[in-house]
Amino acid sequence: MRKITLAVMLAAALFVAVTGDAVAEHPPQPQTKESRDALTPDAALELLRAGNARFASGAPLQRDELQEVRLTSGGQFPYAAILGCIDSRVAPEVVFDTGIGDVFAARVAGNVLDDELLGSLEFATSVAGAKAIVVLGHTQCGAVKGACDGVKLGHLTQTLSHLEPAVAAAKAQVPPPHDARNATFVGRVTELNAEVTARAMTERSPILRALVEQGKLKIVPAVYDVSSGRVTFLG
């Protein structure tokens, strides 16, 4: 029995040495109020960065999601909120390798900000206690390309109008053509839209601005690469 035990220990040690990672003895648990409240905004952002690093390297945590459902049935204590796009390739919980109950995920074409989403983010932070907001744009965004091309289509026209400041700013920074054919232009609009949206949160919401000024909240823009799975934080 001792030889078997030593063999197992040596095999585990070799796995850690080769992969640089250890196998978790137990699946990760959802945030509690105490663990979430103990986080700083910087620590919350670091959890997201670490989660994306795991996802992009193909080593996500092994979770018992049904158990997470049970553990969060009495309450939720997310540490961050993500404002992302509806694109099917950019699910925030997957991209950041989070569990059930870890993040609020708000999604709309082009990750733009309207009053309803702003109110939701005020709830997520001021009431529910999230410590960070990430505005998550992404490469190859159909909404951004539509805004670059001036697309008009029903209610989508109003949605895309929120991207106009980013399109206008990018035109002053990137040589033409100023449409979806220009990958550099589209990429710059994507970055600027995330940055403009992040700034707009504190400009339009006294509640979010006060949390930021008090050091209780950080709001950062970021861009997800649909080819690599990696998130680049812009602030």
Which CATH number does the domain housing residue 50 bear?
A: 3.40.1050.10
pLDDT of residue 2: 36
Distance, in Å, from the CA atom of 201 to the CA atom of 193, rounded to the nearest integer, reads 12
The answer, yes or no, to whether residue 136 has pLDDT greater than 70, is yes
Note the pLDDT tens digit of each residue in 149-176.
Answer: 999 999 999 999 999 999 999 999 999 9
Percentage with pLDDT > 90 across the chain = 87
| Residue 20 resides in a domain | no
| Residue 6 resides in a domain | no
| Residue 42 resides in a domain | yes
| Residue 47 resides in a domain | yes
Domain count, the chain: 1
Distance, in Å, from the CA atom of 193 to the CA atom of 198, rounded to the nearest integer, reads 8
Average pLDDT over residues 67-83: 96
Confidence of residue 27 (pLDDT cuts 50, 70, 90): confident
Backbone phi and psi for residue 106, each to the nearest 5 degrees, phi listed first: -105, 130
Confidence of residue 85 (pLDDT cuts 50, 70, 90): very high
**Paired residues of 224 in beta bridges:** 138, 231
Confidence of residue 25 (pLDDT cuts 50, 70, 90): low
Average pLDDT over residues 130-140: 98
Is the Cβ–Cβ distance between 205 and 29 less than 8 Å?
A: no
| Residue 3 resides in a domain | no
Q: What are the structure tokens assigned to 142, written together? A: 């159909």
| Residue 179 resides in a domain | yes
Residue whose token pair is 């690093």: 53
6/41: higher pLDDT: 41
| Residue 103 resides in a domain | yes
| Residue 65 resides in a domain | yes
The answer, yes or no, to whether residue 1 has pLDDT greater than 50, is no
Distance, in Å, from the CA atom of 85 to the CA atom of 195, rounded to the nearest integer, reads 14
pLDDT of residue 26: 73
For residue 102, give its domain range: 31-233
Global model pTM greater than 0.85: yes
Confidence of residue 182 (pLDDT cuts 50, 70, 90): very high
Q: What is the DSSP string of the chain?
A: -HHHHHHHHHHHHHHHHHHS----SS---PPPHHHHHT--HHHHHHHHHHHHHHHHTT-PPP--HHHHHHHHTT----SEEEEE---TT--HHHHTT--TTSEEEEE-GGG---HHHHHHHHIIIIIT---EEEEEEETT-HHHHHHHTT---TTHHHHHHTTHHHHHHHHTTSPSP-STT-HHHHHHHHHHHHHHHHHHHHHH-HHHHHHHHTTS-EEEEEEE-TTT--EEE--
